[in-house]
Amino acid sequence: MDFDPVVLARIQFAANISFHILFPTITIGLAWILFFFRLRYTRTADEAWEYAYNFWVKIFALTFALGVVSGITMSFQFGTNWPGFMERVGNIAGPLLGYEVLTAFFLEASFLGIMLFGKQRVSNRVHLLASFLVAFGTSLSAFWILALNSWMQTPAGFVLEDGQFFAQSWSQIIFNPSFPYRLLHMLLASVLTSAFLIAGVSAWRTRRGVDGPATAKVMRVGVILAAVCIPLQVLVGDLHGLNTLEHQPQKIAAMEAIWETGEGAPFTIIGLPDEETRTTRLALEVPYAASLILTHELRGEVRGLDSFETHPPVLPLFLFFRVMLVTAGLMLLVSWCGAFNYWRGREPGPRLLAALSFMTFSGWVATLSGWYVTEIGRQPWIVQGLVGTAEVAADHPSATIAGTLFGYIGLYIFLLYSYVHALRYLSTKPARSLAMLPQRRSRDAQGLS
Amino acid sequence: MADFLPVFFVFAMGLSLLVYVVLDGFDLGIGMLLPLADEGDKNVMIASIGPFWDANETWIVMGVGVLLIAFPHAHGIVMTALYIPVTVMLFGLTLRGVAFDFRVKAGDDRRRLWNNAFFGGSLVASMAQGWMLGAYITGLDRSPTSYAFAVLIAVTLPALYVMLGGAWLMIKTEGELFERAVRWTRNALLPMGVGLLLVSIATPLVSERIAERWFTLPNAIGLMPIPVACAAAYLVIAWLLRRPDVLRGGYGHFVFYALVLICLMAALGLAYSIFPDIVLGRMTLFEAAAATSSLEFIFWGVAIILPLIGFYSAYVYRVFSGKATELSYD
């Protein structure tokens, strides 16, 4: 077989980073939710909050472990797959990654031990502090990695000498043009993902009749949190889009499959963009809408793909962007129906429970498709407009990369299956095991159970 | 500053990797000892490392991170050359890491599967790390002799980790498990000793440069403390392991300290052999270093935050000090 090693290296990195992002997306939001549960218990002494914490902290620990191991893989793949990247951009990327390890990784990993297993060994105040530091660490980690990612999209604060990047202003490098939008967008995505996860699992448990003493309360937190955050996310997403239009217009043109520059451009709701013929087949269009959305004028001029020397592949951007929008729409619908229901003073009925459990992993779908849009949208560059992806790839033989790629994909499918299976298992079982808590404590060593 | 910073960072990298070998070494060693224990003991063994393993593993990210941050030109060369062992190690670390949670959260019918994954992952990761170290010492050479040398370290390092794991259990457990830990550690002693001896003999044989450094006067005399300290530490361990009464009397942790001494001496010896190269015979650390402005920016972070990390790590170990019995989320 004769595959391009660059394509294989990209698929491998994409497989790994896609698998990885599933878990931090949950833990960043869930860490704050757990801290909230602990705070509520401390304030109100209502046992239900403690049950909620005890149940979800187990899922948090499992999710965190998967995030850690897949994250370590990533830190090595920067070097094994893209050695040229660090050689040319190392002066910029290195310190940002370094500060992530120094300020975030050690913090969350160290205090996680106390958060998970130290409740009987430290005071409530110290335990609260440990839970806070874990949550803070996960968010800080997102801060640094998104600073680097955003810099690769909208580079700033550097000078180029002989193909090498040198730092000129660290504040411009970190707070580069797309960074604030991307960071907010990702943090809100994490909160939404974990909100739908806790609401979905709670709904699933209620339908199955395996709910615990705090399930209804947790579902309420999830639904209300989602209902509050989704309109904010739509707003931030729109601002992020306008920022992209300013700095990476070719990405927007590809997302909307706008082939030619023109005034009063239509918005294509759905269709099949074809790069060979440079047309969109089976297009369903709304006249003037693209101009209206992007320039806020009916006859505003929108740059098409024809005005760029290079542009990212159109089909994946166009489709993934729509997957994200549809998922966001469903999230809005379900969470607002749920919130309206609570506002009327009712508990969710069977149809709402079904909808919530259907949406359990909706955050994953939206987050992944959003990331595919923004990352594929940077191609063929690894640093927008400055360093080509193919220039920095390692020259491993295709067979080597293909072999390890199959290994990784097999491992990830197995782990993902095991993760969802464990979620189901924990969701069914603890309702009973929680009730037996006091007896179990007296029994002999139980390991992590 | 331009000369000081690369040396500072190579020190930070070496220190991080040494801390990793000791801390995750005992985690991985306990993983390799797992099949020898019954289910109850397995739980206690894992409980003895449960609160720490994640932070322990972070030290390898730190070590490789410093290589990437401070020596980006070497990072690419090293990581490309070690592509296969790195991938194998990552598979091992992944399986070991998730097994901590899955073995108690995936249901009793799957517990055996995840116990095996814990063991297999630990073994594979340890051997791959040995392989990487071996390949690194030969300057990433691809000749058959170099491969043989890498294989030698790939079987020696797991023995050292098993020793560290056994010694950790002597600190953290009591009763029957303690006795078993003493036996396991005693059984691993000779393989580790022979392995280390062979590695010490083979290292100057595979690298002329290293031979030159060690066997010329007066350097050879100045270097004597390294082999002497290793031999002394080995004898102390051998003596202690034959006196279970002394070990039980509260001296169990001395086995651990003596092993740490051996690791430290090996690290010093390696540093002396290689300095100032970062890829042996190919690139010095000054050639590989990132721009001074970037190193300055991260220097303050390392200088201020690394001691802070040491401080709160010590606090976490203190919170979980004493004999390990059970891990509970409550």
Task: List, in order of start, the domains of chain B with CATH numbers.
Answer: 4-319 (1.20.1630)
Indicate yes or no: CB of B326 within 8 angstroms of CB of A87: no
- Two tokens, residue B274: 């290689």
pLDDT for A376 equals: 92
CA distance B124 to B110: 21
Q: What is the mean pLDDT of residues A74-82?
A: 81
Q: Name which of B77, B79, B97 is nearest A65 (Cβ-Cβ).
A: B97
Q: Are B74 and B288 in contact (CB under 8 A)?
A: yes
- Two tokens, residue A215: 């399930």
Q: Which residue of A has its CA nearest to B59?
A: A106
Q: Give the least confident one: A347-356, B102-111, B298-307.
A: B102-111
Distance from CA of A326 to the nearest CA of B (A): 33
Q: Which residue of A has its CA nearest to B47?
A: A447
Query: In this structure, how many other beta carbons lie within 10 angstroms of the beta carbon of residue A276?
Result: 5
Indicate yes or no: CB of B94 within 8 angstroms of CB of A411: yes
Q: Name which of B62, B91, B98 is nearest A66 (Cβ-Cβ).
A: B98
- Helix (H), strand (E), coil (C) string for A64-113: HHHHHHHHHHHHHHHHHHCHHHHHHHHHHHHHHHHHHHHHHHHHHHHHHH
A324 has a pLDDT exceeding 90: yes
Q: Name which of A97, A114, A120 is nearest B68 (Cβ-Cβ).
A: A97
Q: Name which of B55, B105, B312 is nearest A62 (Cβ-Cβ).
A: B105
Indicate yes or no: CB of B76 within 8 angstroms of CB of A84: yes
B310 has a pLDDT exceeding 60: yes
Chain A residues closer than 8 Å to B292 by CB: none
| pLDDT confidence band for A399 (50 / 70 / 90) | confident
Q: Which residue of A has its CA nearest to B295?
A: A95
A437 has a pLDDT exceeding 80: no
A432 has a pLDDT exceeding 50: no
A138 has a pLDDT exceeding 70: yes
Q: Which residue of B has its CA nearest to A395?
A: B80
Furthest C-alpha separation in chain B: 63
| pLDDT confidence band for A195 (50 / 70 / 90) | very high
Comparing B120 with B81, the larger pLDDT belongs to B120
Distance from CA of B301 to the nearest CA of A (A): 7
A111 has a pLDDT exceeding 80: yes
Q: Are A199 and A159 in contact (CB under 8 A)?
A: no
Indicate yes or no: CB of A103 within 8 angstroms of CB of B301: yes
Q: Name which of A80, A167, A425 is nearest B297 (Cβ-Cβ).
A: A167
| pLDDT confidence band for B278 (50 / 70 / 90) | confident
Q: What angle do CA A360, A362, A365 make, to 5 degrees?
A: 140
pLDDT for A79 equals: 77
Indicate yes or no: CB of B309 within 8 angstroms of CB of A106: yes
Q: Which residue of A has its CA nearest to B106?
A: A422
Comparing B328 with B230, the larger pLDDT belongs to B230
pLDDT for B124 equals: 97
Distance from CA of A5 to the nearest CA of B (A): 14
Distance from CA of B223 to the nearest CA of A (A): 34
For residue A294, give Cα distances in angstroms to A249, A298, B262: 11, 10, 65
CA distance B10 to B18: 12
Mean pLDDT, chain A, whole residue set: 88
Q: Name which of B57, B95, B320 is nearest A113 (Cβ-Cβ).
A: B320
Chain B residues closer than 8 Å to A445 by CB: 40, 43-44, 47, 325-326
Chain A residues closer than 8 Å to B44 by CB: 445, 447
pLDDT for A2 equals: 59
A448 has a pLDDT exceeding 50: no
Q: What is the mean pLDDT of residues A242-269?
A: 87
Chain A residues closer than 8 Å to B279 by CB: none
Q: Which residue of A has its CA nearest to B108?
A: A425
Mutate to test the interface with B, among A19, A91, A122 (most CBs of B within 10 A): A91
Q: Give the least confident one: A80-84, A147-151, A407-411.
A: A80-84
Cβ neighbours of residue A345 closer than 8 Å, sequence gap 6 or more: none
Comparing A331 with A275, the larger pLDDT belongs to A331
% of chain B with per-residue pLDDT over 90: 45
Indicate yes or no: CB of B301 within 8 angstroms of CB of A72: no
> Position of tokens 């020793």?
B163
Indicate yes or no: CB of B94 within 8 angstroms of CB of A73: yes
Q: Tell which residue, A261, A205, A161, has the closest CA to residue A52.
A: A205
For residue A327, give Cα distances in angstroms to A35, A324, B318: 28, 5, 47
pLDDT for A82 equals: 84
pLDDT for B30 equals: 95
Distance from CA of B172 to the nearest CA of A (A): 14
Q: Name which of B72, B82, B105 is nearest A86 (Cβ-Cβ).
A: B72
Distance from CA of B260 to the nearest CA of A (A): 21
Q: Which residue of B has its CA nearest to A83?
A: B76
Comparing A145 with A400, the larger pLDDT belongs to A145
- Two tokens, residue B13: 């990298």
pLDDT for B1 equals: 65
pLDDT for A63 equals: 95
For residue B54, give Cα distances in angstroms to A259, B23, B26, B301: 49, 10, 13, 22
Indicate yes or no: CB of A166 within 8 angstroms of CB of B294: yes
Distance from CA of A101 to the nearest CA of B (A): 6
Q: Name which of A83, A113, A426 is nearest B105 (Cβ-Cβ).
A: A426
Q: What is the mean pLDDT of residues A18-30?
A: 95
Per DSSP (E only), the strands in A85-207 are 158-161, 164-167
Q: What is the mean pLDDT of residues A396-418?
A: 89
Chain B residues closer than 8 Å to A87 by CB: 72-73, 76
Q: Give the least confident one: A175-189, A284-298, A310-324, B185-199.
A: A284-298
| pLDDT confidence band for A446 (50 / 70 / 90) | very low
Q: Are B84 and B142 in contact (CB under 8 A)?
A: no
pLDDT for A352 equals: 92
pLDDT for B264 equals: 94
Distance from CA of A302 to the nearest CA of B (A): 40
Comparing A266 with B18, the larger pLDDT belongs to B18
Element (H, E) at A286: strand A279-286
Q: What is the mean pLDDT of residues B34-52?
A: 90
A444 has a pLDDT exceeding 80: no
Indicate yes or no: CB of A68 within 8 angstroms of CB of B57: yes
Indicate yes or no: CB of B312 within 8 angstroms of CB of A117: no
Q: What is the mean pLDDT of residues A238-258?
A: 89
| pLDDT confidence band for A447 (50 / 70 / 90) | very low
Indicate yes or no: CB of A114 within 8 angstroms of CB of B102: no
| pLDDT confidence band for A236 (50 / 70 / 90) | very high
| pLDDT confidence band for A75 (50 / 70 / 90) | confident
Chain B residues closer than 8 Å to A69 by CB: 93-94, 97-98
pLDDT for A200 equals: 94
CA distance B292 to B298: 10
CA distance B158 to B126: 5
pLDDT for A434 equals: 47
Q: Name which of A102, A111, A444 is nearest B301 (Cβ-Cβ).
A: A102
Q: Name which of A65, A422, A446 is nearest B43 (Cβ-Cβ).
A: A446
Q: What is the ipTM of this complex?
A: 0.88
> Position of tokens 């300057």?
B139
Q: Name which of B75, B87, B291 is nearest A404 (Cβ-Cβ).
A: B87
How many pairs of residues across A and B have Cβ atoms under 8 Å apart? 249
Chain B residues closer than 8 Å to A409 by CB: none
pLDDT for A289 equals: 83
Q: What is the mean pLDDT of residues A20-47?
A: 94
Q: What is the mean pLDDT of residues B309-328?
A: 84
Buried b (16+ CB within 10 A) or exposed e, A26-53: bbbbbbbbbbbbbebbeeeeeebbbbbb
| pLDDT confidence band for A443 (50 / 70 / 90) | very low
pLDDT of B203-242, one tens digit each?
A: 888 888 888 888 887 888 888 888 899 999 999 999 999 9
Indicate yes or no: CB of B60 within 8 angstroms of CB of A66: no
pLDDT for B231 equals: 92
pLDDT for B330 equals: 62
Q: What is the mean pLDDT of residues A8-19?
A: 90
Mean pLDDT, chain B, whole residue set: 89
CA distance B281 to A83: 20
Distance from CA of A1 to the nearest CA of B (A): 20
pLDDT for A411 equals: 93
> Would you call A282 exposed, middle or buried from its count of C-beta atoms within 10 A (0-12, 13-18, 19+)?
exposed
Chain A residues closer than 8 Å to B55 by CB: 106, 109-110, 112-113
Q: Are B129 and B157 in contact (CB under 8 A)?
A: yes
Comparing B258 with A298, the larger pLDDT belongs to B258
Q: Tell which residue, B153, B139, B113, has the closest CA to residue B21.
A: B153
pLDDT for B113 equals: 92
A234 has a pLDDT exceeding 80: yes
